[in-house]
């Protein structure tokens, strides 16, 4: 019984909003900072954008324990791929592996309660994928995950257009997550914004993010 209680507690640590937007000169990722345990705010400064390689990055939404374990596994597999193949993995290769991991969870009594946005750059350009707990993997120009995603999608659907600059993408991503913060109980504590360019991943200073709100 105690193990069941611990599993329930871990899976309750969910509720978030993450956003990914493909721009003409890179990708913007944004996420709120709140982690919840039921109706309790468990943490107010959670990093929800994680590096997989130096060119591939992932946002997390869902059960924190599941997400952390999967991220560690994917990192190890990508290092093994680079050593064995003598080349860096593509974003699609990483998305495919992640999809297989999530799909395998369907065969157990405790599937992985997570959603991911996987984004990065390879020799074919910039790529953005969304993945759910069932293992589906979809390539998108923009997407959102988490409990606040229906609200964020409303902002993205109404304002996204092809050929956005990074600056325009940042403003749109902040607007989308901010809307979810205002209306979603499980989203809050501000917005972290990251940009992926040829130089790699960069986190925007908090003061620059506040100018977009």
- pLDDT of 11 > 60? The answer is no
pLDDT-based confidence at 184, cuts 50/70/90?
A: low
State the total domains in the chain: 1
What backbone torsions phi and psi does residue 36 show, to the nearest 5 degrees?
-120, 155
Domain span holding position 53: 2-210
pLDDT category at 146 given cuts 50, 70, 90 is confident
Question: Residue 104: is its pLDDT beyond 90?
Answer: no
Kindly indicate the confidence band of residue 44, based on its pLDDT and cuts at 50, 70 and 90.
low
Task: Return the pLDDT at 8.
Answer: 43
pLDDT recorded at residue 80:
95
What rounded mean pLDDT belongs to the chain? 83
- Which residues are identified as catalytic? 16
> Among 38-42, 74-78, 175-179, which range has the highest average pLDDT?
74-78
Decide which of 195 and 47 is more confident: 195
Of 67-81, 115-129, 185-199, least confident by mean pLDDT is 185-199
Q: DSSP letter string over 10-31?
A: HHH-----EEEEEETTEEEEEE
CA 207, 118, 90, 65: dihedral to nearest 10 degrees? 110
DSSP 131-185: E-TT--EEE-SEEEESTTHHHHHHHHHHH--TT--HHHHHHHHHHHHHHHHHH-T
pLDDT in tens, 57-86: 999 888 888 888 999 999 999 999 999 999
183 Cβ partners below 8 Å, 6+ apart? 148, 151
What's residue 7's pLDDT? 38
CATH code: domain of residue 185:
3.60.20.10
């Amino acid at each position: 019984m105690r193990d069941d209680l611990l599993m329930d507690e871990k899976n309750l640590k969910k509720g978030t909003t993450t956003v990914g937007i493909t721009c003409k000169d890179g990708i913007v990722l944004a996420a709120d900072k709140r982690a919840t345990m039921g109706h309790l705010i468990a943490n107010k400064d959670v990093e929800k954008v994680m590096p997989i390689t130096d060119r591939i990055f992932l946002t997390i939404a869902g059960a924190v324990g599941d997400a952390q374990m999967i991220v560690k596994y994917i990192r190890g597999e990508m290092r093994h791929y680079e050593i064995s193949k003598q080349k860096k993995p593509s974003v699609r290769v990483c998305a495919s592996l992640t999809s297989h991991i999530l799909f395998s969870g369907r065969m157990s009594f405790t599937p992985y309660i997570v959603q991911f946005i996987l984004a990065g750059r390879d020799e074919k350009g910039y790529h953005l994928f969304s993945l759910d707990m069932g293992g589906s993997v979809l390539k998108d120009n923009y997407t959102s995950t988490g409990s606040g995603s229906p609200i964020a999608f409303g902002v993205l659907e109404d304002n996204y257009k092809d050929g956005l600059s990074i600056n325009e993408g940042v403003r749109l991503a902040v607007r989308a997550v901010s809307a979810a913060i205002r209306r979603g109980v499980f989203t809050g504590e501000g917005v972290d914004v990251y940009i992926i360019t040829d130089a790699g991943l960069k986190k925007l200073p908090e003061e620059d993010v506040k100018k977009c709100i």
